[in-house]
Chain A
Amino acid sequence: MTYKFDFVKRSKLFFLLSGIVVVLSMVSLFIQGLNLGIDFQSGSRLDIAVGKKLDVEKEKKILTDLGYKHPNVRVGGAEQDLLIFRTDQVLSKEQVQKIKGKFSQIHKKEIGIQEQVVDPIIGRELAKNAIISVLVASLAIIIYVTIRFEYRFAIAAVISLLYDVIFTVGMFSVLRLEVDVVFIAAILTIVGYSVNDTIVIFDRIREQVERIQPKKWEDLVRVVNEGLHHTLVRSINTVLTVVFASVMLYLFGGESISNFSLALLFGLISGAYSSIFVASQIWIYWKWHSMKKGKEKLAS
């Protein structure tokens, strides 16, 4: 590779970009919040396996005829064969049986139904618990990385991890995608991946620090740029393999995990981006700041 991209020179641009992403995510979260799935709101959700070539209006009419006014329905499934019906009323077993019977009767075949009735408290507890876990895990990561590397690496890694989480949650808010309990598992996966990705790059930067022994700003820039270049192919290839996996899951994995796969896709790409453009850049400025301070101390 002859063309060498100067990552540090463009860092301000990427800080700006990352900043805009965070602000937009936050604004969207504050204004329209998250499209909370059944797990966080009380009510019922029925996934009715009607079959291919499903006519939404016709199916909707079946529900209206059963007395559900303006039913909230959408089409889902890998082959667009599922009718997803959500209602904030808690459907009784009898009501579900009645719906199932009606659909079976009209379509002249046994219709499969997936039924979910939820008390939102449990979903909220799970979410609260997951947030606490992520925060405590971040703390543990900071301690480990501080011991093995240094605290600047540790905190930069955790900031980039939080960036990935905010980005993914923000995207789900902006695009109005439904958030359910499985989404939490996706976030946890992203956290694991993000840390992993950042550490590999930091490991290389640390190696360059030992080799180059930076004294000036230019040295530091060289350290970071070389570290990033050495790991760039790996960063791209690794993100490609996980993107292959999540895209395939999104395309073929079926309705229940399509949002999960999408969350992973956002988070994994963000993880690769933030390791390079957030974590490494935070580190270089922080390191330079500390080096300047050290020099001033030495001079006085």
Chain B
Amino acid sequence: MKVHKGRLFVFLLLVVVILAVVATTTTTIWGTITKGLDLQGGFEVLYQAEKGQKITTATLNDAASAIRNRIDIIGVSEPDITIEPPSRIRVQLAGVKDPKKAREIIGKPAHLTFRDPTGKQILIKGSDLKQNKAKVDYDQQGRPAVVIELKDAKKFEDLTKKLVGQPMPIFLDQTMLSSPVVQGAIPGGVATITGSKTVEEAQELADLLNAGALPIKLKEVQSYSVDASLGAASLKESLKAGLYAILLIFIFVIGYYRLPGFVAVLTLISYAYLVLLVFSLLHVTLTLPGIAAFILGVGMAVDANIIMSERIRDELRHGKSVPVAIRSGSSRSFLTIVDANLTTIIAGIILIIFGTAGVKGFAVSLIAGIIVSFITAVALSRLLINLLVRSNLFKQPSWFAVREDEISDL
């Protein structure tokens, strides 16, 4: 029979293109995938609004944006702040050098209050301050202080007039910052808060006031922090495990299925590549369990290849020729693969609808994996194997790991 060099050429071209694309762009794609805290170090805190306050999605959003402003003070790039209604806010900061400091700044409610001499009654509160007007200055003795501006200058003047000769303590949350004695009515709506020991401390207070007070009281209910060195080690370990796993699978599949096995390996490489691409496009945050699921996904993606290869071998054993066996083998396995995958996708959709954040993320990766696996294992496999067989080079059943004596005469 005539060997079709053209088909073989197309096959080789496809293989070279796939491998070249994978080899040259994987590193770039890998770089664009967000890695979770467990892989690059950082910390996560889950805040819950304390009971007894009115919590709505709007107040949660306000609190989240106040937290975002505060993170800008620390200067972390790409903080991940999500609200989890009804009452939680999750803050994830990757690659923070000083997590302790960061948590202090985020967690402070930062309610600034001016109180009456007893310290009990609140006269002026944070919302009376002009936004973004707090700045560092120095008092007469050259000590650092924070100067603030008030929205209602008249109100402040009246208050101070009443309190002449008495202290008017200034509190940040429940801590008294200073307790200046009012010397006389203060016009102009400008007040000075002393009590900071260093310029840095004063600057931090000014920044906090500018960032805005948290509209609700939050408490830390859960936290998780990973040193960068440990994250890097986890990443390295899991990638090593993945490499071994994938190599083992490749050797096994080629050793057992020969030609279809080789095609399966090509489709698995495409599968792994495309899943990473989907992760990158959907902005999926890759965590350690995510990597594990991805590696396992490769193992599962082989299933479609195995189902098809087994079908083809069945047909060959029934005495069909290689091209016929491939045609009927792949069409008969098609519905099986559709049913098996659709059931899993249905389960995945339910998990997205009913699951919490973590479960949802998992389900999204699961479904993405199945769809990609379906495309590569069915469409790409068929294309590749047909090209090979139609080149008339691989006509012997032995290429499909079927021995002559297994073939029935029927």
Which A residues have a C-beta under 8 Å from some C-beta of B? 47, 49, 78, 93-94, 97, 110, 112-119, 121-122, 125-126, 129-130, 132-133, 136-137, 140-141, 144-145, 148, 181-182, 184-186, 188-189, 191-193, 195-197, 199-200, 203-204, 230-231, 233-234, 237-238, 240-249, 251-254, 256-257, 260-261, 264
Contact = CB atoms under 8 A, between A and B. Distances in A.
Interface string B36-57: 0010000100101000000000
Contacts of B225: 113-116
Contacts of B38: 114, 256
22 contacts: A49-B227, A93-B99, A119-B48, A119-B222, A122-B221, A126-B358, A129-B354, A130-B356, A136-B353, A137-B346, A185-B358, A185-B362, A192-B344, A200-B303, A234-B303, A237-B306, A244-B252, A249-B295, A251-B241, A252-B241, A253-B292, A257-B289
Nearest to B37: A114
B336 A249 contact: no
Given A112-B227, A144-B343, A200 B293 contact: no
A118 B222 contact: yes
Given A133-B355, A237-B306, A249-B295, A113 B342 contact: no
A264 B296 contact: yes
Given A122-B222, A196-B343, A114 B230 contact: yes
Given A193-B300, A245-B299, A246-B296, A253 B241 contact: yes
Contact of B227 (A113, A244, A249): A113
Query: Secondary structure at chain A's binding surface: helix, strand, loop or mixed?
Result: helix
B308 to A, nearest CB: 10
Contacts of B296: 189, 242, 245-246, 249, 264
Interface in B178-226: 220-226
A148 B339 contact: yes
Given A184-B359, A233-B310, A257 B238 contact: yes
B223 A117 contact: yes
B302 interface: yes
B284 interface: no
Contacts of B356: 125-126, 129-130
A197 to B, nearest CB: 8
Nearest to A129: B356
B233 to A, nearest CB: 7
Contacts of B336: 199-200, 203-204
B179 to A, nearest CB: 28
B347 A191 contact: yes
Contacts of B69: none
B280 interface: no
Given A238-B302, A241-B253, A253-B238, 13 more contacts: A126-B359, A130-B355, A136-B354, A144-B342, A199-B336, A237-B252, A238-B303, A238-B306, A244-B252, A248-B248, A249-B295, A249-B296, A260-B292
A196 B306 contact: no
Interface string B345-382: 01111110111101100110010000000000000000
Interface in B291-345: 292-293, 295-296, 298-300, 302-303, 306-307, 310, 314, 335-336, 339-344
A182 B253 CA distance: 30
B229 A249 contact: no
B222 A257 contact: no
A156 to B, nearest CB: 13
B332 to A, nearest CB: 8
Contact of B359 (A47, A130, A192, A243): A130
A245 B245 contact: yes
Given A182-B289, A245-B245, A249-B241, A116 B223 contact: yes
Given A133-B355, A252-B240, A114 B227 contact: yes
B120 interface: no
A119 B340 CA distance: 39
Contacts of B103: 93
Given A196-B303, A257-B289, A264-B296, A188 B100 contact: no
B116 to A, nearest CB: 33
A141 to B, nearest CB: 5
B340 A196 contact: yes
Contacts of A145: 343
Contact of A49 (B230, B299, B310, B362): B230
B351 A137 contact: yes
A107 to B, nearest CB: 13
B300 A137 contact: no
B15 interface: no
A121 B351 CA distance: 20
